[in-house]
Each structure stands twice: as structure tokens, then as C-alpha cells.
Chain A
Amino acid sequence: MTRARQRILILALIATGLLLAGLFGLRSLHAYREFRAHRPPPAFSADSQTVETNVGLIRGWMTIPFIAKMYQVPPAVLYKALGIPSQGNRDKSLKRLNEEYFPKVPKFTETTIQAILLANIEIPTPTFAPMPVP
């Protein structure tokens, strides 16, 4: 390898390394802040029976049966809300259902499912100890 090529290789390695380390370092820092903000749920409530109530977690890759189980809502309710048959649509993601049935309205399936879930899931209300009467 000639000296000039050697120099180019070394410079390219250092520049790529700096670029990757800088870029991912900053992204790691940002992600770490988010990571710290999201503490894992307490161990005793970490069973699979816990009902999810945050509808902001709905994503385009999810399927209707998956969402139904996650939020413990009958799948039929979700199919009915979208006005589509369950047959042949069980394996399809929300994104794909949107492309097939509602191509003119972006994210229609996601928004509708979120609205239906909000109306159907029971959000547990916090219980307070009675105030001591003086």
C-alpha cells in the first residue's frame, strides 16, 4: 500500500469513527434520558393479566387480535368499529388494513381503534383512604 493510500485509509477510519461515536453518543444520551423516565412497572403488577390502558401504544404493525388481547377487548368490537370483516384480516397489520380499506385517509385504522379502545376499556379509578373525621 502506498503512503498516500495509507494516509487516506487512516483518515477515513478516524473520521468514520468520530462521526459514528458522535452521532450515536448523542442519540444514546437522548435515549438514556427517555429510558430513565420510563421505569419498569413494579414487579408485582408485572403479570400478563394487567390490562393496558394507554392507547398511545397502538402502532401500525399491530394486528387486530393482538390489540384485542393487549387491551382485553373482544376483537369483534374492533372489526365492527372499522366496518371490515374479520375473515381474511386477522393476520394483517393496521397499516395494511388502512392501505386496503381506507387508502384515502392516512392512519384511519389506528385513530379509530384508539377511539374505540378509549370508549371500551375500563380505566381503574384510584381509591383513596377516607379522611379522618376530627
Chain B
Amino acid sequence: MSDFLLTQVINYGAPFLGAVVFFGALGIPFPGTLIVIAVGAFCKQGFLSWHTTGLIAWTCVVLGDCLSYAMGYYAREPVLRRLGGSDKWIKAENLFQHWGGMSVFLTRFLITGMAVPVNLLAGTGNLSFRRFLAYDLSGEAIWIFGYGGLGYLFGTQWETVSTFLNNVSGFLLGIIILAIGIWLALTVLRKNEETKEQVPDI
């Protein structure tokens, strides 16, 4: 898949990159980070102009994110009908109002595998579009210009940078899943102890 995409990027340039990041933002599993870093290297080699390519990619990825936010937003009604009144839903919504912006920002470039679920949650969880857009624009700017910049800096050695960043992203995803697991385990343990304390001694 990545080989095919790389060949098409060198054949069709920025518009193709735009399409890749746009559909990637909608959940199609393209190796976006690898392509962005590679394009940075292609810009250095003089195949593409970095400002035009960067701007096209940035615009397209933000459009894709907005569209997946909209999907979450319009799915809100059916979700609310099922879970709306529950305490858990209200708790989750409050939590997302508090941490939503930061999770949108970090999932743009650090834990990119979580970007689409976070977009959908942001739409469903009623994170205001303005806040979403502000965090999205800044996070995606780091992804496109920061990661692309690394590719530009390392030139033909971009594959090394890409491997390193992809592995770090996977590692962080693992740490987050582990942290959620431990947090859930501790919550369950605490609840069990509380229930035991409430049972009167005979």
C-alpha cells in the first residue's frame, strides 16, 4: 500500500497527497505519517514545492477532520436517544468537555491512530466546533509541517525518521491502553471494597 501511494505521490504531487490525508482523516487506513515525512524529503529534493504542498495537505486534512466531526455531530441524536439521560453519558460528556480539546490536539500528530475516533467523539460529545477547529488546525500544522519538516531535514534518510516516529506512536498507544486498563481495574477494586464495607457484620 505505502509503495503504491509513494509512486502516485511522485507522479501526481500535492493533489494526490491532499486526497490521501483527506481520506485518511475519514478513517481509511492510509500510512499518512509515512507519506507526509516522505513528501518532506521530496520537497527537499526539488520534486515538490514545500509551501504549496504543505498548504494543500493542511487544508485537506483539516477538511477531512471537520467532515468526520460532522459525522459524529449528526450521529448525536440517535446516540442521545439511547444513552442521553444516563449518568455515565453525562460524566463522559463532562470529561470530554474538559479534556476534549487536548485530546484532539495530541491525536493529530502523536497518537494518530486515535484521531478518527476522537473526531467522532468530539462531534457526538458536543465539543464546540470552534474549539475543535482551533485544536485541529494547530495539531495538524504540527503533523504536516513538523513531520514534513523532519523529512525535509533528513532528505533521503527519511525512512529512518518515519520508522522511529511510527514506533513511538505505537508505544504511546500501548501506554494509553495500559493506563485505561489499570485505571478501570483500580476503580472496580475500589467499588468492591466499598460494597464490602457497606455489608454489616453479623
Contact = CB atoms under 8 A, between A and B. Distances in A.
Interface of A: 6-7, 9-14, 16-25, 27-28, 31-32, 34-35, 38, 40-41, 46, 48-49, 52, 54, 57, 59-63, 66, 69-70, 91-93, 95-96
B88 to A, nearest CB: 11
Interface in B154-194: 154-157, 160-161, 163-164, 167-171, 173-182, 184-185, 188
Contact of A66 (B47, B170, B173, B175): B47
B156 to A, nearest CB: 5
6 contacts: A10-B181, A12-B181, A13-B177, A24-B170, A32-B164, A38-B154
B154 A17 contact: no
A65 B99 CA distance: 48
Contact of B45 (A12, A70, A96): A70
A40 B155 contact: yes
Contacts of B175: 17, 21
Contact of B160 (A38, A41, A52): A38
A interface, over-half SS: helix
Contacts of B156: 52, 54, 57, 70
Contact of B188 (A10, A12, A92): A10
Contact of A28 (B2, B3, B164): B164
Nearest to B3: A61
Given A20-B171, A23-B174, A40 B3 contact: no
B46 interface: yes
Contacts of B44: 46, 48
B160 A31 contact: yes
B71 interface: no
Nearest to B5: A61
A14 B178 contact: yes
Given A14-B178, A63-B10, 12 more contacts: A7-B188, A10-B185, A10-B188, A13-B180, A13-B181, A14-B181, A20-B177, A28-B170, A34-B163, A38-B157, A48-B46, A61-B2
